[in-house]
Amino acid sequence: MESTVMEELLASHPMEELKEGLVVKGVVTKIHGNEVAVDIGGKAEGVISALEFNDIESLEVGSEIDVYIERLEDKYGNPLISHDKALQKKNWALIVENCEEGSVLPGRVKGRVKGGLLVNIGVDAFLPASQVDTQSPINLDQYIGNTYEFKILKINQERKNIIISRRELIEEERQKKRKLLLDEIKVGDIRTGIIKNTTDYGAFVDVDGLDGLLHITDMSWGRISHPNDVVRPGQEVSVMVIGIDQEKERFSLGLKQTVPNPWDNIEQRYPIGSKIHGKVVNMVPYGAFVEIENGVEGLIHVTEMSWTKRINKPNEIVKIGQEIDAVVIEISKDEQRIALSLKQTDENPWEMVCRNYPVGAHVRGKIRNMTAYGAFVELEEGIDGMIHVSDMSWTRNISNPNEFVKKGDEVDTIVLSINQEQQRIALGIKQLTEDPWPEIQRKYRVGAAVTGTVTRIVPYGAFIKLEGDLEGLVHISQISETHVDKVKSVLAVGQEIAARVIKIDQNDRRIGLSIKAANYDETAFTEEMKAFDKIKNTSELVSLSDMFSGIDESLGQREEE
């Protein structure tokens, strides 16, 4: 049988008719490994790679196949032939005759070439990498050996090449699915999709070929900083359709809407006054946010962190990630806010203050801090009382607490008043002794001669120390017979002076002195006293700025001393 085929083949193709570039019939004489030997009636057999056959298993010895003569003889004297090129030459004519740009044909990916893939659709066609899929693939090797449908983009008969696309077919199919999906989808539907990519504001989800936006605010009932905290590209998710735009063929999606809203029954689960356990998840200058459950956070304001400590920043008490107990003090379901208190998990120590420190009680403590108007005394940890400068001495005019006490001093005091709501205790030192003013008034009558030492100079006069802690004030108008512009040009701290009492103000507990009237006779003194008495209160001669500058000046003098 084989000899008959060969004879017929030789008769139909004598040697003188075999030429390069022709497609002729050949007979398979041997199939060995990856090679197929074919006799085309020449001096020697040609060899074809088994890779040129789509179904090598069905090929048998004696089968007649078309072959393309590339060269009649190679360097070994054997013909160089190709079955694949023979098919392509025959198929090219069929494709040109029967197909046009836009036609769809099946094809098998043969291998990679520069810029894309080589695909056999009957002839070799070029598939650019940009036309492989809707997104340019990273690895083109995954397509080799697979069969797909392809759309003809361009046929160039002169160059005998064809450019094809798989991407256009995929997009056309997706467009059909999008139209069907938009016709049937409705708000409230639950759909399954694939996360395509994420951004700072959300994620894009492919739902049956239609892209939907899953905004970051619709990902979780709780706090998230970035979409990647919840989803990742390639992840499959079940989402709810929460909005549709038919014109733009887009819709918005929600992930949190697929689970119950934790705020629905918030008042029943966390009634006011109940204790909760949670974790600190965020801090702001005014407080700390505590996650009570997924999607529910409460705020502990800095004023609710301690009964006794003045908190400036929340990280002085709590840290992010710390688990704590707190008490619910307020709920606003509409605004989705819960106010929490850390301090109310403990007993309020100020409720015991009235019992431990009743008004009139004699208490002792250490000066913890001082301000311009007084000194704070620590009675116990977290409980301070304040001594105002006006409650330090019956007789001295104290402008700054540093003149009387120092930080760290242990002092005895009397409880003057308690304000539990404002958490304040007023203390006094002068109240430890009896008010000396009744005795002072008897001792220092108007007109009495006195001697003393200048202790402080202010723009409106000078303070004079008399016996004990008693101080009197010489107004600038009572220093000299001549006009005085600046007190310190006439008097100096530490200077001893002689004066007379010209005024006693019982209400303000002030003694007015006059240096210039020290040697007046009774008539002259009476006239001076009347003139001075027109000033009902020496403070009327002093502006607020003068008083403060006087304090600064006197403090500066002490620092120099």
Mention every residue, 6+ apart, whose C-beta is less than 8 A from residue 283: 289, 314, 315, 318, 320
Specify which residues 297 forms β-bridges with: 291
What pLDDT shows up at residue 8?
53
Alpha carbon dihedral 542, 543, 544, 547, in 10-degree steps, equals -40
Residues 290, 281 contacting (CB under 8 angstroms): yes
Whether 202 and 252 share a structural domain: yes
Q: Is the distance from CB of 390 to CB of 332 less than 8 angstroms?
A: no
3-state secondary structure 364-382: EEEEEEECCCEEEEEEECC
Q: Which residues are paired to 331 by β-bridges?
A: 338
Q: How far apart are CA 478 and CA 518, in angstroms?
A: 10
How many domains in the chain?
A: 6
Taking the whole predicted model, whether its pTM rises above 0.85 is answered as: no
Q: What DSSP assignment string belongs to 2-19? A: HHHHHHHHHHHS-GGG--
Q: DSSP letter at 265? A: T
CA–CA dist 36, 59 (Å, integer): 9
How far is the C-alpha of 472 from the C-alpha of 234, rounded, in Å? 88
Neighbours of 47 (CB within 10 A): 16
Torsion sign, CA atoms 60, 66, 72, 74: negative
Domain end, chosen from 278, 312, 344, is at 344
Q: Is residue 337 part of a domain?
A: yes
Say how far apart CA 386 and CA 379 lie, in whole Å: 10
**φ, ψ dihedrals at 464, nearest 5°:** -115, 125
Are 353 and 421 part of one and the same domain? yes
**Whole domain around residue 322: which residue ranges?**
266-344
SS3 content of the chain, % helix, strand, coil (to 5): 25, 40, 35
- Is 177 among the domain residues? no
User: What pLDDT is attached to residue 15?
Assistant: 46
Is residue 252, in this structure, part of any structural domain at all?
yes
Same domain, 216 and 137: no
Q: Residue 157: its pLDDT value, please?
A: 80
87 three-state secondary structure? helix
Assigned domain for 491 exists: yes
Question: What is the Cα Rg of the chain in Å?
Answer: 52
Whether residue 275 is found in the same domain as residue 363: no
In the chain, the N- to C-terminal Cα span, in Å, equals 136
Residue that is last in its domain, among 258, 277, 312? 258
How far is residue 324's CA from residue 304's CA, in Å, rounded to a whole number? 14
Give burial (CB, 10 Å; 0-12/13-18/19+) of 253: buried
Q: Cα angle vertex 460, ends 455, 461, to 5°?
A: 35
Domain membership of residue 299 (yes or no) is: yes
For residues 65 and 8, state if they share a domain. yes
Residue 63 belongs to domain with CATH number: 2.40.50.140
Residues 6 or more apart in contact with residue 224 via CB below 8 angstroms: 216, 230
CA dihedral in degrees (229, 233, 235, 237; nearest 10)? 70
Asked whether the beta carbons of 392 and 431 are under 8 A apart, the reply is no
Asked if residue 94 is part of any domain, the answer here is no
Counts of helices then strands in the chain (DSSP H, E):
8, 30
Sheet of strand 46-49: strand arrangement: 46-49, 35-39, 23-32, 64-71, 80-82
Q: Do residues 410 and 371 both lie within one domain? A: yes
Point out the domain boundary residue: 210, 234, 258.
258
Amino acid in position 295: G
Residue linked to tokens 């600038």: 476
Query: Given this model, what pLDDT does residue 328 score?
Result: 93
Cβ burial 153-184 (10 Å sphere, 16+ → b, else e): bebeeeeeebbbbbbbbbeeebeeebeebeee
Structure tokens at 463: 């303070």
Are residues 195 and 159 both part of a single domain?
no
pLDDT tens over the chain, length 561 residues: 444 444 454 455 544 478 887 888 889 898 888 888 888 887 778 888 888 887 777 888 888 888 888 888 888 888 888 888 888 788 887 787 778 888 898 989 989 999 999 998 888 889 999 999 988 788 899 999 999 999 999 988 887 888 999 999 988 888 887 778 777 888 888 888 899 889 989 999 888 777 888 999 888 887 788 988 888 998 899 999 888 887 777 788 988 888 888 888 888 888 999 999 999 999 999 999 999 888 888 999 998 888 777 788 998 899 999 999 999 999 988 888 899 999 888 877 777 777 888 888 899 999 988 898 899 998 887 788 899 988 888 877 787 888 889 998 999 999 999 887 788 899 999 888 887 777 777 777 888 888 999 988 998 899 988 887 788 899 998 998 888 889 999 899 999 999 999 888 777 778 889 998 888 888 888 888 888 877 644 443 333 333 333 434 343 333 333
Same-domain status, 468 and 543: yes
- Could you count the other beta carbons within 10 Å of the beta carbon of residue 1? 6
Q: Both tokens of residue 224?
A: 């998230």
Q: Is residue 298 part of a domain?
A: yes
Q: Note whether 429 and 438 are within 8 A (CB).
A: no
301 with 328, same domain?
Answer: yes
pLDDT of residue 148: 93
Q: Is residue 521 located within the same domain as residue 457?
A: yes
CA 90 vs. chain centroid, Å, equals: 68
Pairing between β-strand 287-293 and β-strand 236-245 as defined by DSSP bridges: unpaired
Q: How far apart are CA 207 and CA 201, in angstroms?
A: 19
CA 14, CA 3: separation in Å to the nearest integer?
Answer: 16
Q: Is 283 found in the same domain as 245?
A: no
Distance CA(170)–CA(420), nearest Å, equals: 76
**483 & 555 share domain:** yes
Residue 204 inside a domain? The answer is: yes
Residue 289 and residue 281: Cα distance in Å, rounded? Answer: 6
